[in-house]
Structure 1
Amino acid sequence: MFLRFFALAVSLGAAESYAAVPALMTHDQVALELRLKVGITDNLIRLSVGLEDKKDLIEDLDQALKIAVLSNQLGKQTFKH
């Protein structure tokens, strides 16, 4: 992932900010049809916002999303697991 302040993690609810991709992490063993039925798409990202400065977090998300869009446009894999 392209985030600097958000750690990639399944565990949420700490003082630090975390990002999770449920389709690749917590729900990777769930059938695609069932995941989609409950709204867990392949591009869903779950965020848990911690105590970091909100400006830093917003800038971090902004730059990561810009890179992801550019990577997608270039046909490269956006998320590396």
Structure 2
Amino acid sequence: MELPHSTAPAADRPSVAHHRPGRARRTRPDHAAPRARRPLSAKVRRYLWYTAAAVGIYGASLAYAHLEEASHQAVQATNAAH
């Protein structure tokens, strides 16, 4: 059984090629050349600042919990010594 799409003439179909021909043909002369850095948008910079602040708050809460536990242990040791 022959499929209907296999009998269609090839003239009405584009030849199989890269979907962006310029990308396929373009070659970079120096692959080690660093890419130009684009400045970050204000939205991304704000997101990074909020993320850094959240990480800082989380770290501070961990440190506080650790100090609280150490203080509790010290008080227990002092109470047990008396």
Instruction: Give the TM-score normalised by structure 2.
Output: 0.28
Instruction: Give the TM-score normalised by structure 1.
Output: 0.29
Q: Which has the higher contact order (CA 8 A, sep 6+)?
A: 1
Q: Which has the larger radius of gyration?
A: 2
